[in-house]
Structure 1
């Protein structure tokens, strides 16, 4: 049963956790219905926070359904880097059915992984200016 759990260690719990991501966005994955913001963490595993407003999803049942889908697809991602991730919902999510929502989220998770790999490879390939030319 452990494989099906979604422990507190996988969630952003405090306003400080959310503020860290909003104040220091390293990766943005935009989409018409979602915006994913991410920043590195020192936890050793990915954590997720969800922001879905009444303005964009009017009914609580709609917000809860989308949040369940996001958590479920996130939980099935086994090879995520150590990131703090905030998923923001945009307008139009209420009209998307669960199957399409799952496909969309899987695509967004893979885009997030690609952007993270690209950003870390760019950083590791660059040498600091202070070490250039020293022997």
Structure 2
């Protein structure tokens, strides 16, 4: 697979229910925050993959769900090279739609850094 350096092809996404279910069945790393929860499981693909669960219950309006997804995809696309090889699900919690774009980016940076730090501890324990 040849990936463009900053593209977002299908290979970098969780696409079907089976992909999501494998993460839910065995979560290796959790990175919670007030507004989101990141769940991740190590994969053997050589690159991270990302999936979203943004419910109407937690983010009422589609325009807000799409805004948060767009910011998250952009952050992931630009920083995926620094992330561990994991399947990652980002789940939105109530109130995330009230954050500004800069606050969302800052939150994502903290969340993904926390995820990477916990994943590195996981790999050192397993080795």
TM superposition score normalised by structure 2: 0.93
TM-superposition CA deviations, 1:31-51 (whole Å, max 9, x none): 110000000111110000000
Residue 8 of structure 1 pairs with residue 3 of structure 2: no
Match of 1:99 among 102, 105, 108: 102
Larger RCO, structure (CA 8 Å, separation 6 or more): 2
Unaligned runs of 5+ in 1: 125-135
The structure with more radius of gyration: 1
Aligned to 2:21: 19
Q: Which runs of 4+ in 1 moved over 4 A?
A: none
* Residue of structure 2 aligned with 1:52, choices 22, 32, 54: 54
Structure 2: distance between partners of 1:105 and 1:4 = 18
CA distance in structure 1 between the partners assigned to 2:75 and 2:49 by the alignment: 13
Inter-partner Cα distance in structure 2 for 1:122 and 1:106: 24
| TM-align CA RMSD | 0.9
Q: What is the number of residues matched between the two proteins?
A: 123
With structure 1 as the length reference, what TM-score do the two structures score? Answer: 0.88
1:1-135 to 2 correspondences below 5 Å:
2-77=4-79, 78-124=81-127
Paired with 2:126 and 2:112, the residues of 1 have a C-alpha distance of 21
Distance in 2 separating the partners of 1:73 and 1:95: 19
Q: Which moved more, 1:69-78 or 1:18-27?
A: 69-78
